[in-house]
């Protein structure tokens, strides 16, 4: 299975979000290589627009994804949103541990794990984001940092839960900077993550690992052809429907050309 998610972050108005969702769904129908059973697609709008975007996507094969959630199912947590709330508006997946949450909201590995468990408990599927800072890569610590994040999120989970988990590797130095990990860099880290997953549990070895970090139409297909890359977590390029559809096209064509890696 391949997966492409567009993370819209904190952009746009309700009208913008509804229009973008409709344009994405219509654009995907015109992509001959796209098989929704082989390459799943989701969009993650801001919280206030989830229900409206979900309505715009009704009857399509585009999944509704949330950008985050609180670790508790309910309570006196002003301004937060719980996983059961997300489930009630038909969200399918939830991002946890995005680098911007780790950096700006100071979320640590323990909190990411608690959120992952909350997502699973609510019947939703978590997308666990991991990745290193530029200083950590330059110091040669990138693989150790990512291994720590992966193990903290996944070790000790019920093996049955691994079938619902996706990992997204997003080198922090490549998010919103225009810089992208080379296919060699992405491939090396994805192989490292695959080894960590296999060491955690046999069931975890089948978890798809996405790449995120300045993914755009010009590099999506090449990244998707890289062994171990099972799709993309797309930021800025997902805010323009034609751009996002082209990324999905690139991933779909790579999947069709090499179905063994899907």
Q: Which residues pair with 160 in a beta bridge?
A: none
**Per-residue pLDDT tens over the stretch 97-121:** 999 999 999 999 999 999 999 999 9
Neighbours of 72 (CB within 10 A): 15
Our CA angle for 40, 42, 45, nearest 5°, is 180
Domain boundaries, the chain: 2-237
**Per-residue pLDDT tens over the stretch 215-252:** 999 999 999 999 999 999 999 999 999 999 999 999 99
Average pLDDT of span 70-82? 98
Whether the pTM exceeds 0.85: the reply is yes
Q: What pLDDT does residue 257 have? A: 84
Q: What pLDDT does residue 181 have? A: 84
Neighbours of 229 (CB within 10 A): 24
**Per-residue pLDDT tens over the stretch 164-201:** 999 999 999 888 777 778 889 999 999 999 999 999 99
193-208 burial code (b ≥16 CB/10 A, e <16):
bbebbeebbebbeebb
**CA–CA separation, 120 vs 59, rounded Å?**
25
- At 179 the three-state DSSP class reads coil
* Torsion sign (Cα): 182, 112, 55, 35: positive
Active-site amino acid positions = 98, 170
pLDDT band at 259, cuts 50/70/90? low
| CATH number of this structure's domain 2-237, picked from the four choices 3.40.50.300, 3.20.20.70, 3.40.50.720, 3.40.710.10 | 3.20.20.70
């Amino acid at each position: 299975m391949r997966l492409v998610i567009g993370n819209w972050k904190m952009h746009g108005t309700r009208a913008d979000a509804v229009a973008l969702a409709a344009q994405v769904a219509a654009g995907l129908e015109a992509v001959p290589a796209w098989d929704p059973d082989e390459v799943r697609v989701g969009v993650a709008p801001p919280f206030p627009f989830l229900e409206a975007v979900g309505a715009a996507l009704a009857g399509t094969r585009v999944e509704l994804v949330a950008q985050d959630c609180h670790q508790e199912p309910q309570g006196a947590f002003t301004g937060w949103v719980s996983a059961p709330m997300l489930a009630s508006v038909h969200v399918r997946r939830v991002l946890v541990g995005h680098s911007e949450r780790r950096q700006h909201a100071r979320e640590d590995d323990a909190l990411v794990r608690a959120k992952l468990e909350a997502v699973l408990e609510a019947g939703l599927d978590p997308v666990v984001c991991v990745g290193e800072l530029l200083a950590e890569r330059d110091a040669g610590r990138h693989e150790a940092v990512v291994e720590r994040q992966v193990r903290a999120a996944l070790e000790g989970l019920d093996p049955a839960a691994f079938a619902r988990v996706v990992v997204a590797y997003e080198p922090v130095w490549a998010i919103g900077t225009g810089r992208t990990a080379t296919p060699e860099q992405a491939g090396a880290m994805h192989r490292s993550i695959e080894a960590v997953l296999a060491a955690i549990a046999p069931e975890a070895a089948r978890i798809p690992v996405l790449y995120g970090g300045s993914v755009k139409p010009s590099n999506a297909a090449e990244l998707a052809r890289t062994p171990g890359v099972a799709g993309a977590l797309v930021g800025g390029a997902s805010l323009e429907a034609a751009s996002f559809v082209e990324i999905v096209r690139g991933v779909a064509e790579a999947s069709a050309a090499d179905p063994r890696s899907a």
